[in-house]
Copies of this chain bind each other. A is one copy, B any other.
Amino acid sequence: MALILTEEEQLLKTSASELFKSKAQIAALRKLRDEKDPLGYSKSLWKEMSNLGLAGLTISEAYGGLDFGYVGLGQVLETCGRTLVASPLVSTVLLSGTAIQLGGNEAQKKQYLPGIASGDSIFAFAMDEGKHHNPENCNTKITNNLISGNKTMVIDGHVANYFIVAVKDEKGISKLVVVNAKNEGILVEKIEMMDSRNLANVRFENVKVEDILDSYSSSTNLIENVLDVARIGLAAEMLGGIQEAFSRTIAYLKERRQFGVPIGSFQALQHRAAEMFGEIELCKSVVIKSLKAIDNQSDDLPKMASLAKAKLGETYKRVSNEGIQMFGGIGMTDDEEIGFFLKRARVVQHTLGDTNFHLDRLAKMKKY
Contacts and interface: CB of A to CB of B under 8 A. Distances in A.
Identical chains in the assembly = 2
Give chain A's interface secondary structure class.
helix
In this complex, the interface size class of chain A, counting residues with CB under 8 Å from chain B, is under 10
Interface string A251-277: 000000000000000111011000000
Nearest to A272: B268
6 contacts: A266-B267, A267-B267, A267-B268, A268-B268, A268-B270, A268-B271
A271 to B, nearest CB: 4
Contacts of A266: 267
Nearest to A266: B267
A270 B267 CA distance: 10
Contacts of A267: 266-268
Interface of A: 266-268, 270-271
A265 to B, nearest CB: 10
A268 B267 CA distance: 5
Nearest to A265: B267
A137 to B, nearest CB: 20
A54 to B, nearest CB: 43
A315 to B, nearest CB: 21
Contacts of A271: 268
A266 B265 CA distance: 12
A66 to B, nearest CB: 48
A236 B270 CA distance: 37
A275 to B, nearest CB: 10
Contacts of A268: 267-268, 270-271
A270 B270 CA distance: 13
A266 B270 CA distance: 11
A270 B266 CA distance: 11
A99 B270 CA distance: 53
A18 B60 CA distance: 83
A218 B251 CA distance: 66
Which of A266, A270, A271: most chain B Cβ within 10 A?
A271
Contacts of A270: 268
A267 B264 CA distance: 12
A266 to B, nearest CB: 6
A267 B268 CA distance: 5
A268 B271 CA distance: 7
A248 to B, nearest CB: 22
